[in-house]
Amino acid sequence: MDFKNKKVAILGWGMDTQDVEPWLKTQGVIATILDEKKDGKPFGDLSTYEVLVRSPGVYRYKNEIVEAEERGVIVTSKTKIFFDVFPGKIIGVTGTKGKGTTSTLIYQILKEAGREVILGGNVGMGLFDKNWNSDTWAVVELSSFQLIDLHKSAHIGVVLMTTSDHLDWHKSGDEYVQAKGNLIRFQRGEDYAVVNKDYENSRKIGEMGMGKKIWVSGKDFSGKAGLRGQHNKENIAAAIAVSKIIGIEESVFLKVVSDFKGLEHRLEEVARVNGVTYFDDSFSTTPETTIAAIKSFAEPMILIAGGSEKGSDFNELGRVIAESSNIKAVILIGEMAIRIEEAIANNIGLVKLIRGCKSMQKIVAAASNAASPGDVVVLSPACASFDMFKNYKERGDEFKKEVGKLC
């Protein structure tokens, strides 16, 4: 698209759009920034603009956007623009859990192999503020928010564990899955789709597009890794499959896998205090990801779960908690505490429930009191954080700060 002299509005001013605005200036555009949260008012009539650049958090089919589009306004996003203008090859990574870990792992492998590579997308790193050329690989973590109207697919599309998520944003679970599918829907025969075959929705997405299908499973990897949990074996298997497609030597990718310790707030080991090990999994905002965290431990566990609404179904999480032989206690927090408690109560099992902790200081104190040497304390909320914290990062940081006070 030729942006020169176009009247452009950027909808939403999050991390994802802040690096595209300077790039738009280089194209001869002075964009107007509209942010409902900051401005404290709705977008209003958007039909006075020629192009709308949507931030991922702004729902694609919001009434104002659809009405403007019907009047001839072009609706795009930073992700769509990047897919149009990037001269190298794109490795796109999506899924309900593991996107950031897998994207970073692939990036580290390519970097170790001496390839020219950039990392960005949903991991919070800019893409437009980096130097590109036709030899550059771009590893891009992509959420359903970014994929919902994507019109091109990645050269290598990676579809990890996909269950359901963001049902407070999407109209339905099917819309969520279909959005994820755009990562490989438009692939051609020379492209590749690396797909986790262990999940129904992932397999459904994997059938889309004309790319070569590489089906992977966590069972494919049994080597040494610096990451804990079966779900991370799935992430590693996907990263290795990408490495093989590109032609990276086994010694290179196995070294990176062995050394890689994971990302902040993703089953991050925080500290060991009086024989108790504390883990920060604040990034876990769905029941499925918390189930994966639970299954990563054999040690006796104190689980911290709860938070704000995302439209999730907690029934399976309740069953897993009730039937887990190693969960000693669950500290229930936030607005969804009652929903999770009800899901646990619907199953036969004996687990201590701790309620009423209104601050992270009290949450960590309760966990410390409930734990014995050899136990693990795991903050894996299965919910969003907005009832008590600004975001999952603040929630995790507060947890680590309070654990630090125990040392």
Task: Indicate whether 94 and 230 sit together in one domain.
Answer: yes
Asked whether residue 346 is domain-assigned, the answer is yes
Average pLDDT, the chain: 92
Among the three residues 230, 259, 288, which one is the final residue of a domain in this structure? Answer: 259
Question: What does the pLDDT read at residue 383?
Answer: 95
Distance between CA atoms of residues 230 and 122, nearest Å:
23
Task: Indicate whether 28 and 66 sit together in one domain.
Answer: yes
Task: Indicate whether 109 and 227 sit together in one domain.
Answer: yes
Distance between CA atoms of residues 228 and 237, nearest Å:
14
Asked whether residue 3 is domain-assigned, the answer is no
- Give the CATH number of the domain where residue 217 resides: 3.40.1190.10
Task: Give yes or no for residue 129 having a pLDDT over 60.
Answer: yes
The CA-atom distances, in angstroms, between 203 and each of 101, 140, 241 are 21, 21, 16
Task: Indicate whether 124 and 244 sit together in one domain.
Answer: yes
- Choose between 350 and 305: higher pLDDT: 305
Asked whether residue 68 is domain-assigned, the answer is yes
Task: Indicate whether 308 and 276 sit together in one domain.
Answer: yes
- Give the CATH number of the domain where residue 303 resides: 3.90.190.20
Q: Convert the pLDDT of each residue in 232-254 to its tens digit.
A: 899 999 999 999 999 999 999 99
Task: Indicate whether 34 and 163 sit together in one domain.
Answer: no
Asked whether residue 278 is domain-assigned, the answer is yes
- H-helix or E-strand spanning residue 108: helix 99-112
Q: What is the mean pLDDT of residues 342-350?
A: 84
Task: Give yes or no for residue 165 having a pLDDT over 80.
Answer: no
Q: Convert the pLDDT of each residue in 81-103 to its tens digit.
A: 999 999 999 999 999 888 999 99
Task: Indicate whether 221 and 349 sit together in one domain.
Answer: no
Asked whether residue 109 is domain-assigned, the answer is yes
Task: Give yes or no for residue 34 having a pLDDT over 70.
Answer: yes
Task: Tell me how many domains the chain contains.
Answer: 3
Burial code (b: 16+ CB inside 10 Å, e: under 16) for 120-144 equals: bbbbebbbbeeebeeebbbbbbbbb
Question: What does the pLDDT read at residue 195?
Answer: 97
Task: Indicate whether 122 and 211 sit together in one domain.
Answer: yes
Question: What does the pLDDT read at residue 168?
Answer: 57
Among the three residues 80, 109, 127, which one is the final residue of a domain in this structure? Answer: 80
Task: Give yes or no for residue 167 having a pLDDT over 60.
Answer: no
H helix intervals, 296-357 = 315-323, 337-345
Q: Convert the pLDDT of each residue in 313-330 to its tens digit.
A: 999 999 999 999 999 999
Three-state DSSP class for 214?
A: strand
Confidence class of residue 130 from pLDDT cuts 50, 70 and 90?
Answer: confident
- Give the CATH number of the domain where residue 50 resides: 3.40.50.720
Asked whether residue 2 is domain-assigned, the answer is no
Task: Give yes or no for residue 183 having a pLDDT over 70.
Answer: yes
- Mode of pairing for the β-strands spanning 276-280 and 268-273: antiparallel
Question: What does the pLDDT read at residue 36?
Answer: 86
Q: How many residues does the chain have?
A: 407
Asked whether residue 1 is domain-assigned, the answer is no
Percent of the chain scored above 70 by pLDDT?
Answer: 98
Q: Convert the pLDDT of each residue in 35-86 to its tens digit.
A: 988 777 889 999 999 999 998 889 899 999 999 999 999 999 999 999 999 9
Task: Indicate whether 121 and 253 sit together in one domain.
Answer: yes
- Choose between 144 and 252: higher pLDDT: 252
Task: Indicate whether 17 and 127 sit together in one domain.
Answer: no
Task: Indicate whether 96 and 239 sit together in one domain.
Answer: yes
Task: Indicate whether 139 and 171 sit together in one domain.
Answer: yes
Confidence class of residue 114 from pLDDT cuts 50, 70 and 90?
Answer: very high
Question: What does the pLDDT read at residue 2?
Answer: 86
| Residue with tokens 């999506």, as numbered in its chain | 94
Domain holding 71, by residue range, is 8-80
Among the three residues 35, 60, 80, which one is the final residue of a domain in this structure? Answer: 80
Distance between CA atoms of residues 197 and 23, nearest Å:
39
Asked whether residue 331 is domain-assigned, the answer is yes
Q: Convert the pLDDT of each residue in 266-284 to its tens digit.
A: 999 999 999 999 999 999 9
Distance between CA atoms of residues 341 and 353, nearest Å:
8
The CA-atom distances, in angstroms, between 315 and each of 188, 291, 293 are 40, 11, 16
